[in-house]
Structure 1
């Protein structure tokens, strides 16, 4: 089964307060489907992950997926996988890796300055000119949180 189809199935089975951030398949004979889930109305704790598994597993099995299922929270460095994620977190720090080089780089860390129809504009933390990265050029992106020690 293709990952795109699995993603459709999972998104259709999620409760309204949950959002699928990322889905990956790994493993060989018995595949492992790993889902990163966020929640709009509270924490993604053990109970919520167990609830997602109990709601999504039967639907996946009914569609012919016979592998294992793992559900986790996004953590503090939440993935940014959709344009609306960049809009939601405008003004926050993010790390973006591009498919191909822009200039002489593929890795960018900066503040999400604004989001356009076609991409995101980052203001580099180290100074310099803003960089616009098209959504189609993004290989991976996530929030960049700095943990301050007391």
Structure 2
């Protein structure tokens, strides 16, 4: 059987006039990382409609992992703003080596967030609008 550990913490809150006033807040720390306090209104679960879409956790995890690096977010945002561009232009917007940018582009392509079409010797990249809409729906289903 699992036991819970509890701890008390003294927190200081500021009054309106800027002076500190000590107040004792009882915070019970349970070993699974949940915190309970006297202000439970912040911790209530949001009301959800009964007609919400089933959450595809696997797809959401893949998409979030693809966006887990700021460089990939910047690449996706740039493509969303400017439509299409060649790889050479992508190397101009990030202060990274072309090989590193290529790795980031590969991650975004594998997640389906961007598409690449070969035109002669260059590849033109664009946002996959359907997959981006799917990401928005998955996040809304949380």
TM-score range (shorter-chain normalised) is: under 0.3
TM-score by length of 2: 0.24
Pick the structure with more helix per residue. 2
Pick the structure with more strand per residue. 1
TM-score by length of 1: 0.23
Of the two, which has the highest radius of gyration?
2
